[in-house]
Amino acid sequence: MIDLSDNTNLWGMCPAAERAIRELPIADWSRYPSWNGARLGEAAARYVGVTGAAIVGCGSDEMLDAVMRAMTAPGDRIAYSTPTFSMVPVYARANRLEAVPVPLGDNFDLDADRLVSAGAALLYVCAPNNPTGTAVSRSALEYVLEHTAGTVLLDEAYAEFAASTNIDLVARYERLVVTRTLSKAFGLAGLRAGYAVGNETLLNVIGRNRGPYMLNVAAEAAAVAALSDAGVVWMRSHAVLAQRARDQLIVDLRSLGLSPVPSDANFVFAPLAHAWLVAERMRRGGVVVRAFENLPLTIPAFAASEGRGLRIGVGPAEQMAHCIDALAAALAERGDEDGPCA
């Protein structure tokens, strides 16, 4: 099976991280890791170019949950664009928050006005956005930061594949926290390492609302090595491969008659009314992609596809060739009209 469904690094992990895990003394496994993963916190801050240290956790998923817990009280609102990262409503519910989904606006950018007027204690922004892959404009983000009274949580899980980042805004806005991950561009999804940067006072509040030892010894060793000079060189060269594969995938999807939306990430979203049927047929052809439904019909591209579409991750050329073959075969099969679409 070729799995293009989770946006991980299909080229693998960087050699420096692999070496760090192999060289980890076995004796370390029977002891606790460092209290708060400070070594990674410092390496991460240096890597993204902010002063101070990042706080680190068991993947950025855990950071999202930690930010919600620390910055809200049960019953508060959390506003976010929709569609967005599927775990956000899950953590919102776990933290007893009232979710206020706001459909993406023109050109898949934030509907900044509606996000702000939700009166939320916390605003979640994903840029590039999962599952659309689309960018968020700096001006819309700044508008939100200027006008909301709440905390803004910016999820930059795919920043390494994007044309630009907004992480520098943490120096200007005290209520902004930005999360990043080692799971995507650095290829360490199975090890679980993520981090958050922002104003020191804000990070301290988040840190006080969670336990210690969120980062295990192997994850810390691998993540620190991944952020070393050699690790970052490896990551950058593979992020370029992912960008090229993404741009080629967009061309190939168009030649199959689809209309993929622009992507700043390592995956591409293609609106498609028969997404579920096509994904099932592709699975039978050995390729796993993710189908979505119930996308907001206020977005013209989604109105045309009855609110459904496919998200396809990118990887090495051979895998992409299989993917395109499986997709072409799935689209060519007859009987779409009668098939189950959802």
Q: Which residues pair with 77 in a beta bridge?
A: 98
Closest approach of ligand PLP to the CB of residue 132, in Å: 11
Under rule CB under 6 A, which residues in 22-61 are in contact with ligand PLP? 59-61
Which of residues 194, 271, 309, 315 is near ligand PLP by CB under 6 A? Answer: 194
DSSP characters for 219-263? HHHHHHHHTSHHHHHHHHHHHHHHHHHHHHHHHHHHHTT--PPP-
Phi and psi angles of residue 106, each rounded to the nearest 5 degrees, phi first:
-60, 140
Q: Does the CA dihedral 264-267-268-271 come out positive or negative?
A: negative
Which of residues 5, 95, 130, 132 is near ligand PLP by CB under 6 A? Answer: 130
* Element spanning 281, H or E: helix 275-284
User: What would the two tokens of residue 135 be?
Assistant: 């960018």
Which of residues 38, 169, 189, 331 is near ligand PLP by CB under 6 A? Answer: 189
Segment interacting with ligand PLP, rule: CB under 6 A, options 98-106, 181-189, 316-324, 332-340:
181-189
| Residue 216 binds ligand PLP, judged by CB under 6 A | no
| Residue 82 binds ligand PLP, judged by CB under 6 A | no
| Residue 243 binds ligand PLP, judged by CB under 6 A | no
Closest approach of ligand PLP to the CB of residue 128, in Å: 9
When the beta carbons of 274 and 290 are compared against ligand PLP, the nearer one is: 290
When the beta carbons of 41 and 285 are compared against ligand PLP, the nearer one is: 41
When the beta carbons of 41 and 59 are compared against ligand PLP, the nearer one is: 59
Closest approach of ligand PLP to the CB of residue 157, in Å: 4
Decide: 5 and 288 in contact? Cβ < 8 Å.
yes
| Residue 329 binds ligand PLP, judged by CB under 6 A | no
When the beta carbons of 285 and 313 are compared against ligand PLP, the nearer one is: 313
Which of residues 157, 162, 219, 323 is near ligand PLP by CB under 6 A? Answer: 157
| Residue 134 binds ligand PLP, judged by CB under 6 A | no
13 in helix, strand or coil? coil
Residue 170 CA to its chain's centroid (Å): 19
* Element spanning 206, H or E: helix 200-208
| Residue 183 binds ligand PLP, judged by CB under 6 A | yes
Q: How far apart are CA 146 and CA 328, in angstroms?
A: 46
Q: In 3D, which of 26, 20, 36 has the Cα closest to residue 191? A: 20
Q: How far apart are CA 151 and CA 7, in angstroms?
A: 27
Residue nearest to ligand PLP (CB): 59
Binding site for ligand PLP (CB under 6 A): 7, 59-61, 85, 126, 130, 155, 157, 181, 183-184, 189, 194
